Amino acid sequence: MKYRTIGTDPQHRREVSVLALGAMLFGSRTDEETSFAVLDRYVEAGGNFIDTSDNYAFWEDGGQGGQSEELLGRWRRSRGVGDEIVLATKLGARPLAPGTSYVDNPEGLSAKVIRESAERSRERLGVEKIDLLYAHIEDQRVPLQETVGGFAELVAEGTVGVLGVSNHAVWRVERARALAAAAGLPGYQVLQYQHSHLRPRFDVPSDLFPDGSLGHAGPELLGYLRAEPDLTLVAYSPLLTGAYTRQDKPLPPDYDHPGTPARLKVLREVAQEADATVNQVVLAWQIGAELPVIPLAGASSVAQLEENLAAVDLELTAEQRGRLDAAH
């Protein structure tokens, strides 16, 4: 396994594996036995960076989520896991009532919600301190100053280490970080966005993003990261939930554009040259990029995890990287 550092504060920064494990469906669609087997193998391979959220997986049973955090808590207790494992979770998008969604009824990012939701996550996970806590989605009803202060209080109290943000407009991320810096408070240091080798369109509306997606790492966000080298990008859905390789998993509609076939073609060519799978090439391309990315990949079986783990040691040549980067 290879590692890199997240966070800059010596008191809270952590060394994390360059491949993060997504636990979204653990305890719901992925049963406990399989989830434990995947977690055990990931740790055995040197992985130590596990990601979840307080609302996973509310859509599976029409509830409010919490199944994933609860399973991770049971796994930690059964294995005697301590602070050698870096746990990341998110808040802000948990539905306030069963049968509703984060689109029309989210918990939000008020100081009160941040405190109460983080406490519930700590209880479910069975930890005294959340290593990395994200603001999951935007809450434009609450002043950014209140959200910034709410997160900073938890860091000051020692119940949260590093702060992160996901699915926010870049200008709101920068404004929140500027407010934190001006007040001498900790700000967001890890950015979690959807990012893969294929490039999506950004003008496809959704219920959550009616003007187009704020969840993708586009040129503006990548430029921001290059200008702020202390920030870390964690890429969720790097394998597009299996769409690169599975015939029963079509690409999402925002990837239906003329640039997709050319990037798919070079991916397959490089995979054949490297004696690797397309999924492994995507992960290796991210891990070894000039602007390094930590791919966050889920696994519903140990076999899927093994495929992903092998990408950590896949070394692409400079020529292959150049072709992967240039395809459009």
pLDDT digits (tens, 9 = 90+) for 2-35: 999 999 999 999 999 999 999 999 999 999 999 9
Q: Measured between alpha carbons, how far is 201 from 193 in angstroms, rounded to an integer?
A: 15
- Provide the pLDDT for residue 106: 95
pLDDT per residue over 175-203, tens digit each? 999 999 999 999 999 999 999 999 999 88
The domain 3-242+278-315 belongs to what CATH superfamily?
NADP-dependent oxidoreductase domain (3.20.20.100)
Task: Return the DSSP state at 274.
Answer: T
Residue 49: pLDDT band with limits 50, 70, 90? very high
Nearest in space to 106 (alpha carbons), one of 168, 64, 67: 64
Band (214; pLDDT cuts 50, 70, 90): confident
Q: What is the pLDDT of residue 271?
A: 98
Q: What is the pLDDT of residue 210?
A: 78
* Position 324 confidence tier, pLDDT thresholds 50, 70, 90: very high
pLDDT of 207 reads 74
pLDDT at 147: 98
Q: What is the pLDDT of residues 135-165, one digit of tens each?
A: 999 999 999 999 999 999 999 999 999 999 9
pTM over 0.85: yes
Query: Does 205 or 182 have the greater pLDDT score?
Result: 182
Q: What is the pLDDT of residues 219-245, one digit of tens each?
A: 999 999 999 999 999 999 999 999 999
Phi, psi at 15, each rounded to 5°:
-90, 125
Closest CA to 33 of 87, 66, 1, 78: 78
Mean pLDDT for the stretch of residues 293-321: 98
CA atoms within 13 A on the CB side of 152: 17
Q: 113: helix, coil or strand?
A: helix
pLDDT given for residue 212 in this prediction: 78
**DSSP code string of 152-183:** HHHHHHTSEEEEEEES--HHHHHHHHHHHHHT
The band of 206, judged by pLDDT with boundaries at 50, 70 and 90, is confident
Helices (H), 28-185: 32-44, 58-61, 67-79, 111-125, 144-157, 170-182
Tell me: the pLDDT tens digits for 58-107? Answer: 999 999 999 999 999 999 999 999 999 999 999 999 999 999 998 889 99
**For residue 211, pLDDT beyond 80:** no
Q: Are 327 and 266 in contact, with CB atoms under 8 Å apart?
A: yes
